[in-house]
Structure 1
Amino acid sequence: MTAVDAARLQFALLAGIHFSFVLVTLGLGPVVAVLQTRWTLARRADRRAVLERATRFWGQLYLVNYALGIAAGIVMELQLGLNFPGLLEVAGGVFGAPLVIETMAAFFLESTFLGLWVFGWHVLPRWAHTVSFWLVVLTGYLSAFTVMVANGFLRNPVGVTVEDGVVRVTDVGAVVTNPAVVVSGMHVVGACLITGGFLLVGVSAWHLRRAPTRLSGVVAAGLPGAVMSEENDVWRRSMRAGVVTGTLGSVLAIGAGFGQYAYVDTESSLANAPGVIGVAYGVMDMVGFLTFLVGSALLLLLVRDALFRMWRPLRRGLYGTLVVLLPVPFLTALLGWVAREVGRQPWAIAGILRTEDAVTDAPAGQVVVSLVVLVGVMLALAVADGVVLARLARRGADRVVLGAPPRAALVGPGPEIESTLTFGGTR
């Protein structure tokens, strides 16, 4: 393995793993914001209770993924300086500027608003608390957009000129409105919404599939069945939100995906690596259209709650299938990045800088060591994220720490149930 091979492999693995965090953050964020907005505006006490549970549950998953995703982003940017000094020397003024803005947005704006949201439960006015999370979502999308500006420049360098071997900006507007940024950014947003929708639907289906058993267990334990009914209402509402989010995401991903052909030299890309890129494009097209068709069918089943009232064996089979399909958008999105990045080779900056000239001149062994260390760190973060999210998802919405008073977080739903029974439903 040469230094170029090791550097490319390291970038591919780190970018792919980091992108899995981004998919959940950008896909789940708008859903949590909408749930909290509906909770803030709801007038009926029962509806407020269900929407609060849903907001806290999905918000907790969002928070865990966000925290570990920030750490993964630091690892991602570290390897650029280690392995691609030529890229920074030639185009650091163009490529580096968006990444600086992204870092400032993530670490200053986004994290500040997220802190207000996390520690503002029961402290901030409801409207201010809701606005703080909307600002988290908006700054998160701003952060993602700046990354797409940097990546779009590599794929389709416009608005720049090369002087004395250094790339300089001549038209900032052209750099920002680059079709490799705008159109591809919309495609990425669609992929993220599909992922968020699959996550909502998959977790909700898992809980609804087990609902009869769990309900009998709650009643046997002497707890009111209404508590379990309220939690099931959380999963029904979450599944509705997931179906709508995933279907809208598929429309955006398909439309913007085909829109990319306006600037992508598909014949050249397919000639470079027909096996990889051709398969990736084919799988993405198939998954996008199937998601739209299945999502449309599920939207029809939401009429009069047919999705939750169908014959039980059929319903359990459908729910089980939806759970199994949960990894599909993650794998499909990774194929999309493979097609985008491999299709640019042998160029680090299309038509300007070759990858072999951008990579460090350090010995191959040194690059392999950094590959093993950094990929190991990234894999540890990804495994931790997956394990924690899975445990929180299995626990359900009846014992969520985020937004709960300290005593309720320690002892579970008991005091809340007791309060509801004692004080006639007043929380």
Structure 2
Amino acid sequence: MDVVDLARTQFAVTGSLHFLFVVLTLGLAPLVAIMHTRWARSGRPVHEAMTRFWGQVYVINYALGIVTGLVMEFQFGLTWSGLTRYAGDVFGAPLAMETLIAFFLESTFLGLWIFGWGRLPRWAHVACIWAVTLTAYASAFFIMVANSFLQNPAGAVVGGGRMHLTDFGALLTNKALVFSFPHVIGAGLFTGGMVLVGASAWRLRRRTPEVEFFTRSLRTGVVTAAVGIFLAMGFGYAQFGGVAEGKFGSGRDPLAAVGLGFMIEIGQLLGLVVLLVMLPMISVLPRLRWTHPILIAMTPLPFVLSILGWMAREIGRQPWMIWERLTVADALSPGLTSGMVTGSLIGFAAVLGLLAVVDYVLIARVIRRGPYGLDLGATADETRAPALSY
């Protein structure tokens, strides 16, 4: 492959691995916030246990995902400096906002939530996790603002060989953004819900003693997955107008068309299963052990769909980095060689792949152990005693 194809491959690999963390973060954050609110209102131990258990899964995923995000930030400066020179005045603004929100506000509120157990007033502690959720969604919003600008360069003009921002409002109301952002939110909720469903089904199939805990978790996951797949499908179909006009990651590239086709077909099938089978059976599903292997097998599919959708959106824009303004070849940093990009590709892929494996192993360990001996919210005298009692 030439240097351009290698650079595209590098971005595809690192972007896809990073998005695995992002989509789960967007799904789990509101669920943990809702669980914590229920606990604050009811005081029931089962709600505390759910908050701590799923909160620990969230914290693991967030901590490792933030490292993968740093790689994405480095890539823009190292590999795509042509994009910065040509459109940095426009594209850099939402990226800077995302960085400030994710690395400062979101991380600060998450730190307060993690270390505020038993120290902060009850409702102030709840407010922290809701602030984490809101800043996580704000971070995703500004990333989608930046990406939508690449799809449809609204609110900017070309002057002196560079793009200049003329209408910030147009940037925030971009036609490529208004449907794609809710679509991503739906994908996140669907992913988070299915992780709850799959993990709970695994525990229930092994005849866990915490039946109420994982029954509640499974039902919460089904409802969340239903809401998520409904949003994802609805706002996904709403984007077909832009696709028909030949814009917004149109999928005219054969590879993009294949990815888009698989995403639509698998997504429709999962939508039918979740909305027409799982949701009506929500009251009995935890007791039907024969369904649990199916639910476990469905757990990775939302991640697959998310990657297929992201790749279809990016590949469908080729050969443009900014639609009809800047080509991918012109966006590439000058002086890069195939050897340089290959070396960084191997390094980035190895690091991010390792982080993905570590993330899976740590989360799987928490799920196998169950709501016992949790580190999140542990008191000074709590060792390996259960985090819940009935």
TM-score over 0.5 for the alignment?
yes
Q: Is residue 381 of structure 2 the alignment partner of residue 400 of structure 1?
A: no
The 5 Å alignment of 1:252-401 reads 252-265=231-244, 272-274=252-254, 276-296=255-275, 297-302=277-282, 305-309=283-287, 315-361=288-334, 362-401=336-375
Report the Cα distance in structure 1 between the residues aligned to 2:353 and 2:92, rounded to whole angstroms.
26
TM-score (norm 2): 0.95
**Which residue does the alignment assign to 2:87?**
91
Q: CA deviation at 1:290?
A: 2.5
**Which residue does the alignment assign to 2:164?**
168
Report the Cα distance in structure 2 between the residues aligned to 1:384 and 1:333, rounded to whole angstroms.
20
> RMSD in angstroms over aligned alpha carbons?
1.7
Higher Cα Rg: structure 1 or 2? 1
Deviates more, 1:329-338 or 1:373-382: 373-382
- Taking every aligned residue pair, what percent have the same amino acid on both sides? 49
Q: Output one character per residue of 1:376-418: Cα deviation in whole Å (capped at 9) or x when no partner.
A: 111121111111111111111122111111332x3333xx79x
TM-score (norm 1): 0.87
Q: CA deviation at 1:87?
A: 0.5
CA contact 1:243–1:295 (8 Å) conserved in 2: yes
Q: CA deviation at 1:278?
A: 2.5
Report the Cα distance in structure 2 between the residues aligned to 1:53 and 1:166, rounded to whole angstroms.
54
Q: Is residue 155 of structure 2 the alignment partner of residue 159 of structure 1?
A: yes
Higher helix share: 1
**Which residue does the alignment assign to 2:385?**
412
**What one-letter code is carried by the residue in structure 2 that aligns with 1:7?**
A
**Which residue does the alignment assign to 1:124?**
120
Q: Is residue 35 of structure 2 the alignment partner of residue 35 of structure 1?
A: yes
**Which residue does the alignment assign to 1:219?**
none
**Which residue does the alignment assign to 2:134?**
138
**What one-letter code is carried by the residue in structure 2 that aligns with 1:366?**
M
CA contact 2:30–2:133 (8 Å) conserved in 1: yes
The 5 Å alignment of 1:67-86 reads 67-86=63-82
**What one-letter code is carried by the residue in structure 1 that aligns with 2:98?**
E
Counterpart secondary structure, 1:398: coil
Residues 200, 38 of structure 1: alpha-carbon distance in 2 compared, 3 angstrom cutoff: same
Q: Is residue 30 of structure 2 the alignment partner of residue 55 of structure 1?
A: no
Q: Output one character per residue of 1:152-200: Cα deviation in whole Å (capped at 9) or x when no partner.
A: 0001111110001100111110111112122101111111111001100
Q: CA deviation at 1:357?
A: 0.7
**What one-letter code is carried by the residue in structure 2 that aligns with 1:344?**
R
Q: CA deviation at 1:307?
A: 2.0
CA contact 1:203–1:393 (8 Å) conserved in 2: yes
Residues 132, 60 of structure 1: alpha-carbon distance in 2 compared, 3 angstrom cutoff: same
CA contact 2:109–2:129 (8 Å) conserved in 1: yes
Counterpart secondary structure, 1:161: strand
Report the Cα distance in structure 2 between the residues aligned to 1:111 and 1:240, rounded to whole angstroms.
30
**What one-letter code is carried by the residue in structure 1 that aligns with 2:9?**
L
CA contact 2:250–2:313 (8 Å) conserved in 1: no
Residues 272, 262 of structure 1: alpha-carbon distance in 2 compared, 3 angstrom cutoff: closer
Q: Output one character per residue of 1:328-347: Cα deviation in whole Å (capped at 9) or x when no partner.
A: 01111100011100100000
Q: CA deviation at 1:267?
A: 5.5
Q: CA deviation at 1:360?
A: 1.8
Report the Cα distance in structure 2 between the residues aligned to 1:77 and 1:142, rounded to whole angstroms.
17
